[in-house]
Amino acid sequence: MKLHEYQAKELLAQFGVPVPKGRVARTPEEAEAITIELGGSSVIKAQAHTGARGKAGGVKVAKTPEEAKAHAAAILGMQLVTHQTGPAGLPVSAVLVEELVDIEREIYLSVAIDNTPGMPVIIASAQGGMDIEEVAANSPDAIFKQHVDPACGFQPFQGRELAFAIGLDGALLGPATQLIGNLVRAFMESDGAIAEINPVVVTKDGRLLAADAKFSIDDNAEYRQAALVGQRDRSQEDDRELDAHDHGIQNYVALDGDIGCLVNGAGLAMATMDGIKFAGGEPANFLDIGTANNPEAIAAALRLIGSDPKVKAVLVNIFGGLARTDVIAEGVILAKREGMISQPTVVRLSGTNVELGNKILDEATDVDLIRADGFADGARKVVAASRGEK
Partner 1 sequence: MSVLMNKDSRVLIQGFGGAGQREAKTSIAYGTQVVAGVTPGRGGQTIEGVPIYNTVVEAVEQHQANVSLIFVPAPFAADAILEAERAGVPLIICITEGIPVLDMVKVKRVMKNSKSRLIGPNCPGVISVADRSRAGIMPVDVYLEGNVGVISRSGTLVYEAVDQLSRLGIGQSGSLGVGGDPIIGTTQREALELFEADPDTAAIVLIGEIGGTAEQEAAEYIKQMKKPVVVFIGGATAPPGRRMGHAGAIISGAAGTASAKQAALRAAGATIVENPADIGSTMQAVLKQHGLA
Which residues form the interface with partner 1 (CB under 8 A)? 84, 113, 115-120, 133, 136-137, 149-151, 188, 191, 193, 218-221, 223-224, 250-251, 253, 255, 263-278, 283, 286, 288, 290-291, 319-322, 350-352, 354, 374-376, 379
d(CA 306, CA 335): 10
Beta carbon nearer to partner 1, 118 or 309: 118
Beta carbon nearer to partner 1, 36 or 136: 136
- Catalytic status, residue 196: yes
Beta carbon nearer to partner 1, 52 or 367: 52
Per the residue annotation, which of 30, 98, 106, 196 is the catalytic one? 196
- Catalytic status, residue 223: no
d(CA 261, CA 182): 44
- The bridge status of strand 103-114 relative to strand 251-254 is unpaired
Give the shortest CB-16-to-partner 1 separation in angstroms: 20
* C-beta separation of 141 from 154 below 8 A: no
Question: For residue 381, how far is the Cα from the chain centroid?
Answer: 33
Beta carbon nearer to partner 1, 36 or 376: 376
d(CA 344, CA 286): 18
Give the shortest CB-278-to-partner 1 separation in angstroms: 4
Question: For residue 170, how far is the Cα from the chain centroid?
Answer: 38
Per the residue annotation, which of 6, 32, 98, 108 is the catalytic one? 108
Catalytic annotation, residues = 108, 196
